[in-house]
Amino acid sequence: MGYVMLAGAIAAEVAATTAMKYSEGFSRLGPSLVTLIGYVVSFVLLAQTLKTVSIGTAYAIWSGIGTAAVAALGLVLFGEGMGLAKVAGIVLIIGGVVVLNLGGAH
């Protein structure tokens, strides 16, 4: 159940970060509210996750997958570039999360 909550925390954080881009510096009410609510939901779910998943593993997954997802959304929704350095960075982030889950963090 911890990993299900973690997936929800990641989804809420990615939605909040994406909404922040649409908020235009918090000048648009709708996206600003989605940002606020998304981050609150994300932190609540992350806190619940920490009851059953180690903090190092949970945070690495939350931040790593969230970062990779936001980078991908930046490419798809906002036309941001995806050069070799960005691809390599995302691969390294995901690789780090995999290593932690294979036993690097106990």
The pLDDT of 91-103, averaged and rounded, is 82
Answer for the pair 82, 75: CB distance below 8 angstroms, yes or no: yes
Report the predicted TM-score, pTM, of the whole model to 2 decimal places.
0.87
Q: What are 99's two structure tokens?
A: 């290593």
Q: Is the pLDDT of residue 102 over 80?
A: no
Give the CA distances from residue 92 to residues 8, 26, 31, 59, 103, in Å, rounded to whole numbers and listed in that order: 23, 32, 31, 16, 17
Confidence of residue 6 (pLDDT cuts 50, 70, 90): very high
Cα dihedral 89, 93, 95, 97 in deg (nearest 10): 180
Average pLDDT, rounded, for the chain: 92
